[in-house]
Amino acid sequence: MSLVLTTATVPDLDKVSYWNEVMSRTLVPMTVTPLREGPFEGRIATGRVGYLQVATVEADAERVSRTPALIAGSPDTPVAVGVQVSGTALFVQGDRRVEVGEGELVVYDTARPYSFHYPQRFATHVFQLPRRALGVSDDEFRRATGYAIGTEDGLGAMLFPFLDRLASSSADDYRPAVANRLAGNVVELLATLITERSHPGGTEAAARGHLMRRVLAHINGNLGDPDLSPERIAQEHRISVRYLHRLFEGEGTTVSRLIRQRRLEECGRELARRGRSAPTVSAVAQRWGFLNPAHFSRAFRAQYGVSPREWRVLRTAWDAPGRSPAAPPTRATAPSGSPGMPGGPRYGADLAAAGQ
């Protein structure tokens, strides 16, 4: 952020009036009322990423109100997104009343009256952007505002970490062309989120599919990490382990099984390579995340019906010059789902594509 304003150096008697002025000047005109006695403390860091106004607010318990009179005197009425970093907020706009918890976000319209009630000290990122940039109808926008959106939601799982990271970086980190592109990405995700919320079920599957591709790409790029696990994957994507498992429902496998299957696929491919400098079985196993040779051998035999060494002999013999290119007919040399090569019916191709 390029500008930081704080009440820390302001006399106690002037802190509240100063904070009201700072919040109104930095965001949109509003009234801020402290909810606790004693000196009020607040800090706001603000900057721009392209045409996005980005601010991080940390303050004591307070109530924020934007009234019709304040709206009437506002030169601009941008769309706003509040990203709750810590603490909770009770948001009210029109007939919508929702509690926004840590790790959730809320989209709201600064052209209509609203209020935020923060019962304890809190931190939040606020993104503001021109209404015209969204490209959605007024009706769609109105129907989508005022809901708490968490990482259990398809698009929320992508949007929250992106916005959190963007707000935590410095405005000087990006060249103008990059900043404008990042702003465009935020607008695109936000417009998709609004469309999803205003037409339930319309784009949820697409959002889940996008997240699934990201998860698959992450798995594909980290197979050699022995610590790769559902918990680590969920943490990297800022979603719960429960939601990660929900993504795989109906896919015919689990996250852990997929990781093991993909590791075995890569081991099988490497062991099948011909050449004088072929690595040892244990070296191949370790390269793809198997630290225990006995466990690797058991898992490989369970998957392909032969030991890793037997697989190497069978495959190198089959691929020797003069042999027919047709796939071997037995399970030992043609695992189920992908004749002639290790791998399941779909994930090998999907992960290879996702990793490009």
Q: What is the pLDDT of residues 96-141, one digit of tens each?
A: 999 999 999 999 999 999 999 999 999 999 999 988 888 788 888 9
Label each residue of 259-306 as H, E or C: HHHHHHHHHHHHHCCCCCCCCCHHHHHHHCCCCCHHHHHHHHHHHHCC
Residue ranges and CATH numbers for the domains of the chain are: 3-202 (2.60.120.10), 210-354 (1.10.10.60)
pLDDT digits (tens, 9 = 90+) for 188-220: 888 888 877 776 554 556 567 667 878 888 898
Is the pLDDT confidence value at 333 over 70?
A: no
- H/E stretch holding 206: helix 204-221
Q: What is the pLDDT of residue 328?
A: 36
Q: What is the pLDDT of residue 316?
A: 67
The pLDDT, as a whole number, for residue 352 is 38
Tokens of 3: 């500008």
Nearest to 262 by CA among 289, 282, 230, 292: 289
Q: Which residue has the higher pLDDT, 135 or 264?
A: 264
> In this structure, which amino acid lies at residue 52?
L
- Residue 174 vs residue 143, higher pLDDT: 143
Q: Is the dihedral of CA 290, 269, 339, 253 positive or negative?
A: positive
More confident residue, 180 or 36: 36
pLDDT of residue 239: 78
Q: Is the pLDDT of residue 325 over 60?
A: no
pLDDT for 346 beyond 80: no
More confident residue, 70 or 321: 70
Residue 298 pLDDT more than 50? yes
In angstroms, the CA 141 to CA 233 distance is: 33
Which residue has better confidence, 133 or 257? 257
What's the pLDDT at 171?
60
Question: Does 34 have pLDDT greater than 50?
Answer: yes
Give the pLDDT confidence score for residue 172 in this predicted structure: 65
245 versus 62: the higher-pLDDT residue is 62
Helix, strand or coil, per DSSP, at residue 193: helix
Using CA atoms, how far residue 177 sits from 51, 174, 187, 307, in Å, is: 11, 8, 15, 54
Angle between helices 255-271 and 293-304 (to 10 degrees): 90
